[in-house]
Amino acid sequence: MKKTSDNGFNIDLSSIKTTNPPCIIGNYMTYISYIIIIIISFIVIYAMNQIEKSTCECVMKNNKNYIKEWFIFMIIYQTTILLTFILSGEKCWTIFMNNNVFPYIYGLMIIISIIHIIFVFKSFIYLNELRTSCKCAYNLSQKILFWYFLISICFFISIIFLIILMLLYVFIFYITYYFSK
């Protein structure tokens, strides 16, 4: 297919090959983030096992229900997603996620992310109770997790605050634009 431009040059468009869009998110960042989440989940499980092995009576509170099980699920879930990506042969994470093979993957990821945020809050509350009322079961790994969960919660709250600010800005912009006509 030849096209003549305004300046008289002939351009052959048939020789241009369409390629996949560039990777927006680098694959290395994907690997690193998933591996970090898996490592943190192992640390949480290790810390919960240490707490369960403790001889303190104050450890046996109901607040720790399903925390360890959730993080075991997260290891399985994150490993499955990562292995599916690696075994798919896809070269770009963005293309893999936009592929129609997994049409409901975004919805599933959003639901699991919301549940994960809830369990981060629940884990933080449990570790805070250990920190304040059960010093005999609170050691270095629990301290590290406590601060990790605290930073994560601050990050989540910051993101939510920024989203609210952006929505408020859009709302105000829309209102002023609507009434200015």
Helices 67-88, 27-53: crossing angle, 10 deg rounding: 160
pLDDT at 106: 74
pLDDT at 43: 87
pTM exceeding 0.75:
no
pLDDT digits (tens, 9 = 90+) for 136-178: 777 787 888 888 889 989 998 999 999 999 999 998 888 888 7
Counting as low any pLDDT under 70, the low residues of the chain are: 1-26, 61-64, 90, 94-103, 181
pLDDT at 8: 55
pLDDT at 161: 95
